[in-house]
Amino acid sequence: MALSEAEVARYARQLLLPGMGEAAQETLRGARVRVTGGGLATAPAVYYLAAAGVGTLWMDDPDLVTPGAGAGFALGPIDEGRPRAAALAAFARSANALVLAEPFRPGMRPTALLVCGSNLDVSRAIADEARLLQLPHVVADVDGQGGAATTVPVGAPCYACATRPGLGAPPSAEGGATVGALAALELLLLLTAASQEPRARRVEVFRGTPLVRATERQPGCACMGPAAAGLAP
Amino acid sequence: MTGRSPVARIDVRAHACPVTWVKARIALARIAEGEVLEVLLGDGEPRENVPRSAEEDGHRVVRLEPAPEEGTGTWRAWLERGAPREERTWP
C-alpha cells in the first residue's frame, strides 16, 4: 500500500536518504520488531526505530521501572513502578504516532529482533533464541567506553561467534545512547537492505571512534549447522 | 524538447519543500525510464528546487513554464525519468 500523505510528510527527509524511498519506507512500515531487554541502549533504540517508521514495536521487558534504572532518558519519575514494557511503548508512540507500540505478548510473531540485554549472558540467550527462530536481529552491547552493535542476518555467523569481551567497565548512559542509536540504524539498514555486503558485521565504538568488521563463524559453533552442533544423526 | 506526453501528473502546490520534491521523486519512481511526469508547482522555492533536485537525481527537465490556466502563480514542470541509479552508499 502506498504511503499516505501523512507518512510522506512525516518521513520526507528520510525518504531522500540513499537507499531509501517509498518501497523501503513501506518495508519499515510492515516490519514487526520485538525489542528485548532492559539495557541502557533500549530507550534510545526504541526512539529511533519509532521515529524512522518501523510499523510495529513490541517491548519485551518483564521488569518495572525503578528509580534510576536502565531505561535511560526516556523514563522519568512519573513512570516509576509501571511495567517498563508499557512505559517504553508509550514513549515510542510519543516519538511517532504513526507506529503501533505495545508490550510483547506470547504468540506475537515478530519479523526481527533488537536485543538490548543488560549483560552479555542475557543478550547471548536472546540472540540464540532469535537465531533458532530464524529471525534477523541486532544486538546492542553497552560498556564503559562505548559498546558495540552486532548485526546478524538469517543464516549469518551468530552473536556468540561475533562477541568479544568488553573492558568490564560499568556501562554508561552516554554509551547507551550511542549504541542504542547505532543498533537502531543497523537494524533499519538490515530491514531495508540498504547497507552494503557483508551485512553480518559488528560495529564497535570505543570512546567515540567506530570500528567495523565482518563477523566470522567460530569453529564448532552451533550456528554452523546441526553437524557442528552435534545434533545430526 | 521531448515529443512525449506525460504519463502521470501530480500537484504539489499545497506542499512546502522538501515534501514537494519527495512527492515528485516517489511519482518518478512509479514510471518507467524515459517516461514523463507532469508536476504542478508553486512559484518560488518549489519552482527552483524541484527541477534542480530532479536533475541532480539523474532525471531530465524537458519543460518548465508558467501555467496560469491552472491558477495564479502555478508552474508546470515536465520531468523525464532517468536511468535508475545505484543508491546504496551506506557503508
- The Cα A153–Cα A137 span in angstroms is 6
ipTM for the whole complex: 0.79
How many A×B Cβ pairs under 8 Å? 44
- The Cα B76–Cα B61 span in angstroms is 11
Q: Under DSSP, is residue A83 helix (H, G, I), strand (E, B) or coil? A: strand
Residues 6+ positions from A146 with CB-CB distance below 8 Å: A175, A178, A179, A204, A205, A206, A207, A208
Residues 26-55 of B with CB under 8 A from A: 26, 29
Nearest residue, CB atoms, A12 vs list B22, B29, B88: B22
Interface residues on A facing B, Cβ-Cβ cutoff 8 A: 3, 8-9, 12-13, 15-16, 18-19, 21-23, 189, 194-196, 212
Angle at A43 between CA A123 and CA A93, to 5 degrees: 125
pTM of the full predicted structure?
A: 0.88
Going from the C-alpha of A62 to that of each of A73, A83, A122, A127, A233, the distances in angstroms are 19, 7, 13, 17, 38
In this predicted model, what pLDDT tens digit does every residue of B31-59 receive, in sequence order? 999 999 999 999 999 999 999 999 999 99
pLDDT tens string, chain A, 233 residues long: the values are 889 999 999 999 999 988 888 999 999 999 999 999 888 899 999 999 999 999 999 999 999 988 766 555 688 888 889 999 999 999 999 999 999 999 999 999 999 999 998 888 899 999 999 999 999 999 999 988 889 999 999 999 999 999 876 666 788 888 888 999 999 999 999 999 887 777 899 999 988 899 999 999 998 888 877 544 444 44
Q: HEC states along B21-88?
A: HHHHHHHHHCCCCCCEEEEEEECCHHHHHHHHHHHHCCCEEEEEEECHHHCCCEEEEEEECCCCCCCC
Q: Positive or negative CA dihedral for A77, A83, A88, A89?
A: negative
Nearest residue, CB atoms, B88 vs list A13, A18, A23: A18
